[in-house]
Chain A
Amino acid sequence: QSALTQPASVSGSPGQSITISCTGTSSDIGNYNFVSWYQQNPGKAPKLMIYEVNKRPSGVSYRFSGSKSGNTASLTISGLQAEDEADYYCCSYAGDLGWLFGGGTKLTVL
């Protein structure tokens, strides 16, 4: 069960937009529309930001959006704010394999 592939780090200035990619295979991301994204601050439990590829839970800012093309999912954060600095993880349902997470991406707001 290989983890999904994310860039180790991304950065952006306040007000800019950034995109974090998440690459899987035809057995996970490519086969199911069950991609989710999580934000984790140091010492805290993860927080769900996106589910079912592009849906936002109640209370999550409209600045967070998700998409998918083939075996790759993406999380875009627009209007970057200092409070967005955190680790971000993608996750995909993978059928008999359960769920796979990405290795995580550290977002730095410059």
Chain B
Amino acid sequence: ELQLVESGGGLVQPGGSLRLSCAASGFTFSGYSMTWVRQAPGKGLEWVSYISSSGSSMYYTDSVKGRFTISRDNAKKFLYLQMNSLRDEDTAVFYCVRETLYSFASWGQGTLVTVSS
């Protein structure tokens, strides 16, 4: 059974850092591109970042460029999101999502990141 399990969320002060992790199982992780999608409390979905199956290509939404870094470890079957210089507006549930045919078929349960002083 395919599983994506996020961890690493929590409360952090503005300007702080956090690293999210996503443990993948039940599929050939190295064969799929992965993304992070977030959802602020009571708000809609927002695509955050993408990484190709090999890890050679990464893309980000404008609001996180220069602050967030996506990476992956195909041997360990983990996806990561390093988040620096966090802002209040980064408060959200962050979902680890497998990308297939330019859509998002498989989602984790999400991990909540709260940026507040």
Interface 9-residue window, one of B15-23, B24-32, B57-65, B77-85: B57-65
Binary contact track B31-46/A, C-beta < 8 Å → 1, others 0: 0000101000000111
B103 at the interface (CB under 8 A from A): yes
- Cβ of B54 < 8 Å from any Cβ of A? no
B107, A100: Cβ atoms closer than 8 Å: no
Bitwise interface map of B from 71 to 103 toward A, beta carbon under 8 Å scored 1, else 0: 000000000000000000000000100001111
A residues 61-110 with Cβ under 8 Å of B?
A: 89, 91, 93, 96-104
Q: Is the CB of B102 within 8 A of A34?
A: yes
CB under 8 Å from chain B, chain A span 1-46: 1, 3, 32, 34, 36, 38, 40, 45-46
In the complex, which of the residues A34, A47, A48, A103 has the most CB atoms of chain B within 10 Å of its own CB atom? A48
Given the contacts A34-B102, A48-B103, A48-B104, A91 and B61 also touching, CB distance less than 8 Å: no
How many chain B residues touch A (CB < 8 A): the figure is 22
Q: Given A34-B103, A98-B61: A103 and B44 within 8 A (CB)?
A: yes
- A-B contacts counted at CB < 8 A amount to 64
Q: Which residue of A lies closest to B102 (CB)?
A: A34
Q: Could you say which residues of chain A place their CB within 8 Å of the CB of B109?
A: 45
Specify which of A38, A46, A93, A102 is in contact with B102 (CB 8 Å cutoff). Answer: A93
Measured CB to CB, the nearest residue on chain B to A51 is: B103
Q: How far is the CB of A48 from chain B (nearest CB, A)?
A: 5
Out of A91, A97, A98, name the residue touching B103 (CB < 8 Å).
A91
Distance between B18 CB and nearest chain A CB, rounded to angstroms: 20
Which residues of B sit under 8 angstroms from A89, Cβ to Cβ?
44-45
B interface residues with partner A (beta carbon < 8 Å): 35, 37, 44-47, 50, 59-62, 95, 100-105, 107-110
* A-to-B contact residues, CB < 8 Å: 1, 3, 32, 34, 36, 38, 40, 45-48, 51-52, 57, 89, 91, 93, 96-104
A-B contact pairs, 10 of them (CB 8 A): A36-B102, A38-B104, A46-B104, A91-B45, A91-B47, A98-B59, A99-B47, A101-B37, A101-B46, A101-B47
Beyond A48-B103, A99-B102, list 4 extra A-B contacts (CB 8 Å): A45-B108, A46-B95, A97-B61, A100-B47
